[in-house]
Amino acid sequence: MGTPDGMGTPDGMGTPDGMGQAHDTGQAHDTGQAHDTGQAHDTGQAHDTGQAHDTGQAHDTGQGNDTGQAHGIGQGHDMGQGHDMGQGHDTGEQLLSGHGGAHAVAAAGRHGVTTIFTLSGGHVFPVYDGAVNAKPPMRLLDVRHEQTAVFAAEGTAKLTRAPGLAVLTAGPGVTNGVSAIATAHFNSSPVVVLGGRAPDYRWGAGSLQELDHPPLLAPITKRAWTEHAAAGIGAAVDEAFVLAGAPHRGPVFLDIPMDALFSETTAQLPALRKPQPASPDPGAIAQVAGLLSEAERPVLVLGSDVWLGGAEEAARQAAQTLALPVITNGQGRGVLPAGHELLVTRARSLALGAADLVIVVGTPLDFRLGYGEFGGKNGAERARVVHIADAADQVAAHCPLAGSAVGDLAAVLRDLMDAAAPRKPGDPWLARLQEAVIGAMAADRTLLASDASPVHPMRIYGELTRILDDDAVVIGDGGDFVSYAGKYVEPKRPGGWLDPGPYGCLGTGLGYAIAARLARPDAQVALLLGDGAAGFSLMDADTLVRHRLPVVMICGNNGIWGLEKHPMQMIYGYDVAADLQPQCRYDEVVRALGGAGALVTEPGEIGPALRRAFDSGVPYLVNVATDPGIAYPRSTTGI
């Protein structure tokens, strides 16, 4: 219809609440988009991370509650005025003036926010005005689907280890972001989502996109609530950022009625609060140290919270001092660089199957780690398990534990390093695992250099790993194709790997890529897309083009839903609803949106195409047609 929602202006909000406009609400975000939940995109959904969702906030919709503000949103609140937003990023008390949107931006700026990810909507116009008139202005990066805005905010949080900010307009703007908020929840990513909301003074009369959002968001956020008073907006946004960044981290949702955002007021913003690291219990540390002293075959598993909690250096030192074999997952990848003598991720099956003690730090004991059941291989006894987390409610309760420790992860690891005795040189267990790593790498060389046609997906990674710089950001968004990446792309540094995480939600890739290019402007950014995943967010290549964000996209195009087709054939002897277009020209989609791309059908073309892409300086998609008959040899389905 020429504009979002076909309403003549973005989200049909040409005037506040569209006063006097004819709202053809039949256009608004067609809910028949059929994101087929039967695709089973990683069936590990619904692994409760144990967060305490503050649902007791009495999600007061404030209908008819006089907030003491002038709710006449058409009463001459000049949106073009420069609002005094306080003294830059001052962390002390601040006196705020201007409309509610200016207050929200001022509060976010104090927490280091420099970019708002959004898709235009009139319910949140004052936030845009506050960003434009901030000193300095806050960047507005608009996307083509609200889920991408939230994924970009989450990607920012993952890369910078500070909360990212997404601003979503009311109703369908918020609901379009729900899957991305759920992803941030399962990834424990600190994200603040500010939602627009229909005005209080019209509440219950059927305003455009009127919906009480907090009850929908409460199960997948640390807190979800509404701030009705303009004078309370700054403090509420400040509280949202503090809560999102406090261990255990996670998304926070706050919506604000349109009339409160437009209202002019003054308010005092309290001094900036920062969470204090929690000290571990010395008794718990001593217990874990004792278990280490008794173990013959220990393994240390490092997960995403090690990176998010700033514990990567302490983890590296602890592993090296105690001479512990290490397996990494999620954003724990790169804490020990590729090739490190203690890194045994490539011998994962042997390590976790034959271990007698597994210490898991900063990641849940979910399907990715066999639900916490280790050892028992070839008649060995079950391994004892220690779970170390940054908050008590993150310690696994579904499996028996020999020990646990809670607190700031860097402090826990430093204390453990001091309390435990290092293993003796020449440890046969480590030597056995190192030998397995060498054997696995040797066995893979043939397929990583495969000349097979159609292309074997492993050949793509054989070429890509030769080109990637040490500081490259690698993003995975897909099923089988990205599973290969998780196995064969081993980061050289921490903080350079992004994937959807245990919720298994496809479509994260373009948002994460936007975030990566902003957070790491000089690094290579490689987005690995399955062709199924490409269908969820490839339109946001337009966002890369409009905002001049060069990213290399590599699409493993096998023309099928690989995670569904092969298992269904195994179970039933046939498959349905699992085929896509063979050699679909996703590269031409990116070209049509203003980027560049190429179709690759022969293995010898892959390396040159990747080099052209990285040298291009534009959004570029390398569309590699791969063999649909090859399935990733996975050991778990997540069920």
Is 74's pLDDT higher than 90?
no
Is 595's pLDDT higher than 50?
yes
From-to residues of CATH 3.40.50.1220 in the chain: 282-433
Strand partners, 626: 455
Q: Find out if CATH 3.20.20.70 is the number for domain 282-433.
A: no
Is 129's pLDDT higher than 60?
yes
8-state DSSP, 38: G
| Tokens 């002038």 found at | 70
- Find the angle CA(633)-CA(637)-CA(639) to the nearest 5 degrees: 165
From-to residues of CATH 3.40.50.970 in the chain: 6-13+40-70+83-269, 449-625
**pLDDT tens-digit profile of 173-189?**
999 999 999 999 999 99
Q: How many other β-carbons are positioned within 10 Å of the β-carbon of residue 498? A: 29
Is 204's pLDDT higher than 90?
yes
**pLDDT tens-digit profile of 132-176?**
999 999 999 999 999 999 999 999 999 999 999 999 999 999 999
CA distance linking residue 85 with residue 131, whole number of Å: 10
Count CA atoms closer than 13 A to 373's CA, side-chain side: 6
* CA end-to-end span of the chain: 42
Peptide bond into 248 cis (omega under 30): yes
Question: How confident is the model at residue 623, as a pLDDT?
Answer: 98
Closest CA to 476 of 544, 538, 402, 526: 526
Question: How confident is the model at residue 637, as a pLDDT?
Answer: 66
Question: How confident is the model at residue 168, as a pLDDT?
Answer: 98
CATH classification code of 6-13+40-70+83-269: 3.40.50.970
Is 41's pLDDT higher than 90?
no
Percent share of the chain, pLDDT over 90: 81
- Give 59's pLDDT tier (boundaries 50, 70, 90): very low
Is 193's pLDDT higher than 50?
yes
Question: How confident is the model at residue 426, as a pLDDT?
Answer: 86
630 to 458, 464, 535, 573, 605: CA distances (angstroms): 10, 19, 21, 17, 20
Q: Find out if CATH 3.40.718.10 is the number for domain 449-625.
A: no
Q: Report residue 192: phi and psi, to 5°.
A: -110, 125
- Give 274's pLDDT tier (boundaries 50, 70, 90): confident
Which range among 457-461, 485-489, 609-613 shows the weakest confidence by mean pLDDT? 485-489
Question: How confident is the model at residue 349, as a pLDDT?
Answer: 95
Strand partners, 95: 268
Is 40's pLDDT higher than 60?
no
- Give 10's pLDDT tier (boundaries 50, 70, 90): very low
Is 47's pLDDT higher than 80?
no
Is 68's pLDDT higher than 80?
no
Question: How confident is the model at residue 23, as a pLDDT?
Answer: 33
Question: How confident is the model at residue 228, as a pLDDT?
Answer: 98
- Give 87's pLDDT tier (boundaries 50, 70, 90): very low
**pLDDT tens-digit profile of 301-352?**
999 999 999 999 999 999 999 999 999 999 999 999 999 999 999 999 999 9
Question: How confident is the model at residue 90, as a pLDDT?
Answer: 60
Q: DSSP states of 207-253 as a string? A: -TT----HHHHGGGSSBEEE---GGGHHHHHHHHHHHHHSSSP--EE
Q: Is 130 helix (H, G, I), strand (E, B) or coil?
A: helix
Is 50's pLDDT higher than 80?
no
- Give 377's pLDDT tier (boundaries 50, 70, 90): confident
Q: Report residue 10: phi and psi, to 5°.
A: -50, 125
Is 52's pLDDT higher than 80?
no
- Give 27's pLDDT tier (boundaries 50, 70, 90): very low
Amino acid at 387: H
